[in-house]
Chains A and B, each alone.
Chain A
Amino acid sequence: GAGVSQTPSNKVTEKGKYVELRCDPISGHTALYWYRQSLGQGPEFLIYFQGTGAADDSGLPNDRFFAVRPEGSVSTLKIQRTERGDSAVYLCASSLQSGIDTQYFGPGTRLTVL
């Protein structure tokens, strides 16, 4: 079956611009996660949705970052006034339920802020 998909695969933007990153989870998965991975490091948690609501957004670095999942399926990560330090691979994962269910990751979106 179809896995987690993320679009775009690559995004290049200029400092100060607004970007949106999209995640399509596996159909029927109620939990959705966003992570950020800088070069040479492991992924870092950003935010977790259970259904439509953000159950834990403790990993969002500041108020320039925001994510939504209005219908409990597709999610969009939004970054305002991008900075060069936001350059990273943004990974999305979904799981059937929350808790310790296996998380299935998408291929990521590589964001480059010039």
Chain B
Amino acid sequence: DAKTTQPNSMESNEEEPVHLPCNHSTISGTDYIHWYRQLPSQGPEYVIHGLTSNVNNRMASLAIAEDRKSSTLILHRATLRDAAVYYCILRDVVGAGNMLTFGGGTRLMVKP
């Protein structure tokens, strides 16, 4: 399975933008890039996903490199409630697995 690499942790100030990077150099043409996050003492929750084009929703934006070997999750104005572990996950629309394969994720700390 194609793997992702993320920094272990990042820090941000409240109300500033946050850019969370993810490297996936072995991504295949049928892999979608998904982001989930896990707030303290909760189960993971879906954030956003994309294939080739940049995507926006009410929670975040996803910027995908032209060669698709990396992507960036963008929180436009971080709040204290955005402090969580963010997971970048590749999901193959054609492949055998339906499960999510989580790595270590990036722990985002937001300072007031």
Contacts and interface: CB of A to CB of B under 8 A. Distances in A.
Interface of A: 4, 31, 33, 35, 41-45, 48, 55-56, 59, 91, 93, 98-100, 102-108
Interface of B is mostly: loop
A44 B102 contact: yes
Contacts of B34: 100
Interface of B: 32, 34, 41-46, 49, 85, 87, 91-93, 97-105
Nearest to A100: B91
A99 B98 contact: yes
Contacts of A31: 98
Given A41-B104, A100-B91, A48 B99 contact: yes
A59 B102 contact: no
A33 to B, nearest CB: 6
Contact of B98 (A55, A105, A107): A55
